[in-house]
C-alpha cells in the first residue's frame, strides 16, 4: 500500500465538515504526508504479536484498569466512530510502560499544520491520533495511538467515511480486512475498514451522558 498526499483537503481551518453538491456531509482529513487527556478504556492496534499481554498480531485490544481483552471480533462486526472528536498530531514516547506520550496536536485534523519536532537520539516523533468510538451502544472507548500501522488504519477509516458521502453523527464501520505494508526496511500491518451506515451518537459518547447499564451480548447500532 502506498499512502499518498492530499486525499483529504480543505480550505477551512475547522474540522472537517463541508457540503458537497448533494448537500451531504464530507469529512476532510490530512494524512500528514506533508512534511489532552483522553478518556479510557483505550483501543490499540497490534500490528505484530505482543508478548506482554499476549495479544496476537493483526488484532485489536481494549485496555482498561482491569487489563486488556482482545476485541478484534467486535470490530469485525461493527464499531461507531465519532468523527467530530478526531485529533491528529505528533506523538513521542520512549516506550516506557505506563507513561503517556508527549503530544503536539494539529490545529485541525483537516490539515497537518505542525512541523515534526526534532528527534531525541534514536527516538522519533511519530504521526498519531485520537478518536472516540463505541463498541456497541454501551461501551465507549478512545483509539489514541501512533505508528505506521495504526495511522494507515486511520487513513482507511477516513477513506471509507469520505467515499460514502453521507452525513450523520457517528460513522458505523466494520473491520473488513488486514493489509500488509512493506517499507524499504521492514513491514507492518494495518486494519482496513468498510463503511456500513451513519447513526445517531449513542448515549455513551454524549458529553455528560449518564452511564448506561451493561447489557449482555453486543447490541448493534
Query: What's the pLDDT tens digit per position in 75-113?
Result: 999 999 999 999 999 999 987 877 889 999 999 998 999
Does a structural domain hold residue 211? no
Residues 44 and 116: their CA atoms lie apart, in Å, by 23
Structural domain containing residue 108 = 17-205
Reported confidence tier of residue 72, pLDDT bands at 50, 70, 90: very high
Q: Per-residue DSSP letters for 11-53? A: SSSSSSEEE-TTS-EEE----S----PPPSSEEEEESS-BTTT
Look at residue 3 and tell me if it is in a domain.
no
pLDDT in tens, 129-187: 999 999 998 999 999 999 999 999 999 999 999 988 888 899 999 999 999 999 998 99
Q: Count structural domains, the chain.
A: 1
Give the best-scoring range by mean pLDDT among 15-24, 52-61, 84-93, 164-173. 84-93
Strand 102-105 relative to strand 79-92: parallel, antiparallel, unpaired? antiparallel
pLDDT band at 29 (very low <50, low <70, confident <90, very high): low
Helical ranges in the chain per DSSP H: 72-77, 148-164
Question: Greatest CA span in the chain, whole angstroms?
Answer: 50
Q: How many whole angstroms separate alpha carbon 185 and alpha carbon 221?
A: 41
Distance of CA 218 to the CA centre of its chain: 21
Query: Cα(first)–Cα(last) distance of the chain, in Å?
Result: 31
C-alpha cell at 140: 465507549
Q: How far apart are alpha carbons 13 and 115 in whole angstroms?
A: 16
> Is residue 41 domain-resident?
yes
Interior/surface letters 48-77, b for 16+ CB within 10 angstroms, e for the rest: eeeeeeebeebbbbbbeeeebeebbebbee
Residue (of 45, 19, 80) closest to 219 by Cα position: 80
* Domain-embedded: residue 2: no
Q: Are 156 and 143 in contact (CB under 8 A)?
A: no
d(Cα 151, Cα 191) in Å, to the nearest integer?
A: 10
Average pLDDT across the chain, whole number: 81
Q: How confident is the model at residue 33 (pLDDT cuts 50, 70, 90)?
A: low
Q: Tell me whether residue 129 is in a domain.
A: yes
DSSP structural state of residue 80:
E
Query: What is the per-residue pLDDT for 2?
Result: 40
Query: d(Cα 211, Cα 221) in Å, to the nearest integer?
Result: 17
Mean pLDDT of 8-35: 44
**pLDDT value for 165:** 82
Amino acid at each position: 500500500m502506498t499512502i499518498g498526499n492530499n486525499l483529504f483537503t480543505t480550505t477551512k481551518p475547522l474540522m472537517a465538515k463541508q457540503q458537497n453538491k448533494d448537500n451531504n456531509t464530507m469529512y476532510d482529513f490530512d494524512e500528514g504526508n506533508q512534511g489532552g487527556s483522553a478518556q479510557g478504556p483505550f483501543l490499540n492496534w497490534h500490528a505484530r504479536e505482543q508478548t506482554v499481554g499476549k495479544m496476537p498480531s493483526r488484532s485489536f485490544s481494549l485496555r482498561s484498569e482491569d487489563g486488556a481483552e482482545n476485541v478484534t471480533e467486535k470490530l469485525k462486526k461493527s464499531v461507531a466512530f465519532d468523527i467530530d472528536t478526531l485529533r491528529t498530531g505528533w506523538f513521542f514516547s520512549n516506550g516506557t510502560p505506563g507513561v503517556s506520550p508527549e503530544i503536539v496536536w494539529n490545529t485541525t485534523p483537516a490539515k497537518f499544520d505542525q512541523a515534526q519536532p526534532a528527534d531525541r537520539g534514536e527516538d522519533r516523533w511519530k504521526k498519531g491520533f485520537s478518536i472516540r468510538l463505541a463498541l456497541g451502544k454501551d461501551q465507549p472507548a478512545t483509539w489514541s495511538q501512533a505508528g505506521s500501522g495504526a495511522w494507515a488504519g486511520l487513513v482507511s477509516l477516513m477513506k471509507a467515511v469520505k467515499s460514502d458521502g453521507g452525513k450523520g453523527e457517528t460513522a458505523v464501520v466494520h473491520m473488513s480486512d488486514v493489509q500488509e505494508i512493506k517499507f524499504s526496511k521492514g513491514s507492518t500491518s494495518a486494519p482496513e475498514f468498510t463503511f456500513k451506515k451513519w447513526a445517531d451518537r449513542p448515549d455513551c459518547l454524549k458529553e455528560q451522558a449518564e452511564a448506561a447499564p451493561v447489557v449482555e451480548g453486543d447490541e448493534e447500532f
